Amino acid sequence: MRAVTDPDLTSSNAAPRQQAPSRRPLDRIAFVASARPEAREALHRLRHRYGSHPLEGADVIVALGGDGLMLDTLRAQMQHGLPVFGLNRGTVGFLMNDYGEDDLPERLAAARATIIHPLRMRATTVSGAVEERFAINEVSLLRQTHQTAMLRIHIDGAVRMDQITCDGAMVATPAGSTAYNLSAHGPVLPIGCGLLALTPISVFRPRRWRGALLRGGSAVRFEILEPKLRPVSASADSQEVRDVAMVDIQEERARGMMVLFDPDRSLDERMLAEQFES
């Protein structure tokens, strides 16, 4: 997935980025909330204060919860394209704005947009079934038992690593590079950089391999070696497919989702700050 922001979020000497489409007025709000008590309480108060429209008649979605709710909401909006403005009623809230109940229409009008393109995962199981899922943060492969995973990595049709023995591996988007990818010592990718991070998890052999940076349009294939002896699962964000034999991953440029941020809380700034936290 590649993410791009409005040009006015960047300095005048920054590399040009794809411009977010012009936005219609965001007057009709649809609220959604996670199951957390604080999110449900906020949902009741905000609906009472600002009213609420059904999704099919709304201009914007305000999501109350954490990053998990934001990911679920964005996946649900792939076909419809409604912008999503998150208010943090969860834990980390990296993709959310600070919670506040005042001046919500003014915040929506002033918000800056980031366009996110997801990864498409096509997983083939050992039984021959094919499962397709979409990921906003990353597609990850993990061993299912005490046996290490053995993978072969293809990039754009060519074998780039004949065998890697590890706990797993992932392909992360720029917007997802500060999540699981960063915990696995993968690189943080700036928004709009046009890259994906291929990051291994607990590598045994080759011991010094730390992953690779790929262009955003790369077609990645993981071939699972000895999949019955060494079973592996594949997950597109939280959507898991077990006992996979092969996993194909590619950015889905035809699908885009608009995430809204307060001007002082842009995703660019958060990702930059994340790299300097102690």
Predicted local distance difference test score (pLDDT) of residue 24: 66
- Spell out the SS3 assignment of the chain: CCEEECHHHCCCCCCCCCCCCCCCCCCCEEEEECCCHHHHHHHHHHHHHHCCCCHHHCCEEEEEECHHHHHHHHHHCCCCCCCEEEEECCCCCCCCECCCCCCHHHHHHHCEEEEECCEEEEEEECCCCEEEEEECCEEEEEECCCCCEEEEEEECCEEEEEEEEEEEEEEECCCCCCCHHHHCCCCCCCCCCCEEEEEEEEEEECCCCCCEEEECCCCEEEEECCCCCCCEEEEECCEEECCEEEEEEEECCCCCEEEEECHHHCHHHHHHHHCCCC
Question: Which pLDDT band, with edges at 50, 70 and 90, does 1 fall under?
Answer: very low
Q: Does the structure show a pLDDT above 70 at 158?
A: yes
Domains by residue range for the chain, with CATH: 3-117+256-274 (3.40.50.10330), 119-251 (2.60.200.30)
Looking at every residue in the chain, the average pLDDT score rounds to: 89
Q: Is the pTM of the predicted complex or chain greater than 0.75? A: yes
More confident residue, 18 or 224: 224
Residue 25 pLDDT exceeds 50: yes
pLDDT of residue 23: 57
Using one digit for the tens of pLDDT, what is the confidence trace for 7-21?
333 333 333 334 444
Give mean pLDDT, residues 96-105.
95
The one catalytic residue among 6, 8, 67, 243: 67
Mean pLDDT of 55-75: 93
Q: Mean of the pLDDT values across residues 142-169? A: 98
Q: Give the residue-averaged pLDDT of 181-194.
A: 89
Provide, rounded to the nearest whole percent, the portion of the chain with pLDDT above 90: 71
**pLDDT on residue 195:** 93
Active site residue 262: no
